[in-house]
Amino acid sequence: MTEAKADSKYIEIHNVAQTFKTPKGSFPALRGITLNVAKGDFVALIGHSGCGKSTLLNLIAGLTLPTEGSLIAAGREISGPGPDRAMVFQNHSLLPWMTCEANIMLAVERVFGKQETKAQLKARTAAALELVGLTHAAHKRPGEISGGMKQRVGIARALSMEPKVLLMDEPFGALDALTRAKLQDELLAIVAKTKSTVVMVTHDVDEAVLLSDQIVMMTNGPAATIGEVLHVELPRPRERVTLADDPRYQHYRKAVIDFLYTRQGHVEKAA
Ligand X SMILES: Nc1ncnc2c1ncn2[C@@H]1O[C@H](COP(=O)(O)OP(=O)(O)OP(=O)(O)O)[C@@H](O)[C@H]1O
Among 3, 4, 5, 22, binds ligand X (CB under 6 A): 22
Minimum distance from CB of 55 to ligand X (Å)?
3
Nearest CB to ligand X, comparing residues 24 and 136: 24
C-alpha 270/C-alpha 239 separation (Å) is: 39
**How many residues in the shown chain lie near ligand X by CB under 6 A?**
14
Provide the 3-class DSSP secondary structure of residue 224.
Answer: strand
Tell me whether residue 172 or residue 249 sits nearer to ligand X (CB atom).
172
Residue 221 interacting with ligand X (CB under 6 A): yes
- How near is the Cβ of 142 to ligand X at its closest, in Å? 23
Interacting residues of 85 by C-beta distance below 8 A, sequence separation 6+:
60, 61, 62, 73, 78, 163, 164, 165, 167
Lay out the site mask for ligand X across 32-71 (x = CB under 6 A, - = otherwise): ---------------x-xxxxxxx----------------
192 sits near ligand X (criterion: CB under 6 A): no
* Residue 180, C-beta contacts closer than 8 angstroms, at least 6 positions apart: 172, 204, 207
How far apart, in whole angstroms, are the C-alpha atoms of residue 142 and residue 93? 10
Of 22-30, 106-114, 123-131, 178-186, the segment contacting ligand X by CB under 6 A is: 22-30
- Find the binder of ligand X among 29, 156, 188, 200 (CB under 6 A): 29
Between 54 and 160, CB nearer to ligand X: 54
Q: Is the dihedral of CA 152, 90, 59, 210 positive or negative?
A: negative
> Which residue type does 57 have?
L
Q: Give 35 or 243: the residue with its C-beta nearer to ligand X.
A: 35
Q: Residue 169 forms beta bridges with which residues?
A: 201
Residue 92 Cβ, how far from ligand X at the closest point, in Å? 16
Residue closer to ligand X, measured from CB, 111 or 224: 224
- Antiparallel, parallel or unpaired: β 11-22 and 68-73: antiparallel
Question: Helix, strand, or coil here: 167?
Answer: strand
Q: Which residues make Cβ contacts (< 8 Å) with residue 119, sequence separation at least 6?
A: none
Question: Least distance to ligand X from the beta carbon of 25, Å?
Answer: 11
Using CA atoms, how far apart are residues 146 and 114, in angstroms rounded to an integer?
Answer: 33
Nearer CB in complex with ligand X: 162/268 = 268
- Helix, coil or strand: residue 21: strand
Question: Rounded distance, CA 160 to CA 151, Å?
Answer: 14
Q: C-beta of 217: minimal distance to ligand X in Å?
A: 12
Instruction: Establish if 85 lies at the interface with ligand X (CB under 6 A).
Output: no
Does the footprint of ligand X cover residue 27 (CB under 6 A)? yes
Binding status of residue 20 toward ligand X by CB under 6 A: yes
Q: Contact residues for ligand X (CB under 6 A)?
A: 20, 22, 27, 29, 47, 49-55, 221, 270
